[in-house]
Amino acid sequence: MLSGCPADPVLKYCRSFPCRELAPGWLRERARLRHNGGSNSCRHPRMLIRPRQPFDFHRTLRFILGPPAQASGRKFEPLLDHFEEDEYRRVVELDGEQVLYGVREEGHALRARILAGPSSLEVLTAVRQLVERQFSVSLDLADFYRRVASDPVLSLLTRHFRGLRIPQSPNIFAAVVSAILDQQVNLAFAFHVKKALVESYGGHVERQGRRYFAFPSPAALAILSPRELQKIQISGPKARYIIAIARDVLDGRLDLEGLRAEEPAAAHARLLERKGIGPWTAFFVGLIALSHVDALPSGDVGLQSAIHSFYGLSRRPSPARVERLARNWSGWRSYATFYLWMTYWEMPEWRKEFIRQLKGDRDARKGFLAKS
């Protein structure tokens, strides 16, 4: 028998099934906790999500929670993404309301819950889908690992980073604006500007004396003038680009969420139509917000430098050379790029040891490059 809050829409939905076993697993789990006197509150239920293995929650979080320490020599305070009490937390806006959700690892599963905000059935479903997409839980990495098994560099990186997913932004608009703000500035300045933007124009949720910010909505930025954004050190051109994109999203001329359903090439082309979005920015948005697994930023300096260091090239490769090498990663070029990028999140000592290890198998690298 199901027990709990009589007005709880989730339990009401669960009761509607002719047999309890036909209800979704996360609903049955919640009913079990109710019946056993568990700690799930009526207001803030939890959901159990089982990612396809291999899956590494903590390695995936490293990219979300901050820039590479060795690139800046400093750490940055949490802005939108938090890790507290062994739980990842973030605020999103759903149907005009701020929702603070949390995700923690439990065995081979993820436990998601709403920490603050509405918890209707619609919100629960939206948060579950958001978490599943954010952590790419249904993606089969085994195909990627097989694809690069003969690559002397990536075969080692896939063992080191086993289970690492490309985390997806919960908010495509936030990904676009953040990518524009990151253009041609250093990490510290980009963080300073984003912090000012979020704290000036973003919503927030209060929980246990702590304030959690949400990224500003298109509506919040559409009504601004470039001069107002310039006051928080956003350049004039970037301010105009951001405001124009916000207004187009708000007016329905630009459907960012609709890009998820488009073919990657079409979505990339549509992003390039916007002022302020060049090839690299469009690639990055596709990588971290649209789940594009086979895109290649052949002109990216970080990727070129990693290839130069790890594949033993005499000089940094040209975009054309990167594209030739990347034929070996076909179908998974975004993931190959991301795994190479993530080496910058490792300590310098690890990178030195990794290069030393690669030098011990120089013939394998030469043979691989000769075929590329």
**SS3 per-residue string spanning 260-326:** HHCCHHHHHHHHHCCCCCCHHHHHHHHHHHCCCCCCCCCCCHHHHHHHHHHCCCCCCCCHHHHHHHH
- 238 and 175 belong to one structural domain: yes
- 311 and 342 belong to one structural domain: yes
- 235 and 320 belong to one structural domain: no
Tens-place pLDDT, residues 328-340: 999 999 999 999 9
Q: Identify whether 311 is part of a domain.
A: yes
Residue 362 has what pLDDT? Answer: 72
DSSP 190-240: HHHHHHHHHHHH--EEEETTEEEE-PPPHHHHHT--HHHHHTTT--HHHHH
Residue 3: pLDDT band (50, 70, 90) is very low
- 162 and 193 belong to one structural domain: no
- CB atoms < 10 A from the CB of 291, how many? 15
Q: Of 290, 318, 352, which residue constitutes the final position of a domain?
A: 290
Q: Identify whether 87 is part of a domain.
A: no
Average pLDDT over residues 24-33: 48
Number of domains forming the structure of the chain: 2
Domain residues for the domain of 197 are 169-290
Tens-place pLDDT, residues 253-289: 999 999 999 999 999 999 999 999 999 999 999 999 9
For the record, the structure tokens of 229 come out as: 């954004």
Lowest mean pLDDT, pick from 3-12, 80-89, 134-143, 351-360:
3-12
- 302 and 338 belong to one structural domain: yes
Residue 100 has what pLDDT? Answer: 98
- 268 and 180 belong to one structural domain: yes
Residue 43 has what pLDDT? Answer: 53
Pick the catalytic residue from 81, 151, 182, 300. 300
- CB atoms < 10 A from the CB of 278, how many? 14
Q: CB under 8 Å to 276, separation ≥6 — which residues?
A: 180, 237, 238, 240, 241, 242, 244, 245
- 243 and 299 belong to one structural domain: no
Q: Of 290, 308, 334, which residue constitutes the final position of a domain?
A: 290
Residue 303: pLDDT band (50, 70, 90) is very high
Which CATH number belongs to the domain containing residue 156 in this structure? 1.10.1670.40
Which CATH number belongs to the domain containing residue 210 in this structure? 1.10.340.30
Q: How far is CA 47 from the centre of its chain?
A: 20
Q: What is the three-class DSSP state of 93?
A: strand
Angle between helices 348-359 and 362-370 (to 10 degrees): 80
Q: Distance from first CA to last CA of the chain, Å, rounded?
A: 63
- 261 and 313 belong to one structural domain: no
Tens-place pLDDT, residues 67-119: 775 455 567 789 999 999 999 999 999 988 999 999 999 999 999 999 999 99
Q: What is the three-class DSSP state of 185?
A: coil
Q: Of 244, 270, 290, which residue constitutes the final position of a domain?
A: 290
State pTM to two decimals: 0.85
For the record, the structure tokens of 127 come out as: 């948060």
Q: Identify whether 357 is part of a domain.
A: yes
- 197 and 345 belong to one structural domain: no
In this predicted structure, the answer to whether residue 24 has a pLDDT above a threshold of 60 is no
More confident position, 41 or 114: 114
Instruction: Specify burial of residue 339 (Cβ count, 10 A radius: 0-12, 13-18, 19+).
Output: buried
Residue 4: pLDDT band (50, 70, 90) is very low
Q: Identify whether 31 is part of a domain.
A: no
Share of the chain above pLDDT 70, in %: 85
Average pLDDT over residues 289-307: 96
- As a residue count, the chain comes to 372
- Whether omega for the bond prior to residue 54 falls within 30 degrees of 0, making it cis, is yes
Q: What is the CA radius of gyration of the chain?
A: 22
Average pLDDT over residues 24-43: 45
- 225 and 303 belong to one structural domain: no
- 181 and 269 belong to one structural domain: yes
Q: Identify whether 57 is part of a domain.
A: no
Give the phi and the psi of residue 167 in degrees, each rounded to 5: -65, 140
For the record, the structure tokens of 244 come out as: 């124009």
- 299 and 362 belong to one structural domain: yes
In this predicted structure, the answer to whether residue 15 has a pLDDT above a threshold of 60 is no
More confident position, 41 or 263: 263
In this predicted structure, the answer to whether residue 10 has a pLDDT above a threshold of 70 is no
In this predicted structure, the answer to whether residue 225 has a pLDDT above a threshold of 80 is yes
Q: Identify whether 66 is part of a domain.
A: no
Residue 6 has what pLDDT? Answer: 43
Tens-place pLDDT, residues 43-67: 556 799 999 999 999 999 999 987 7
- 92-95: long-range contacts, CB 8 A cutoff, minimum separation 24: 92/127, 92/130, 92/170, 92/171, 92/214, 93/171, 93/203, 93/214, 93/217, 94/118, 94/123, 94/126, 94/127, 95/122, 95/123
Q: Is 300 a catalytic residue?
A: yes
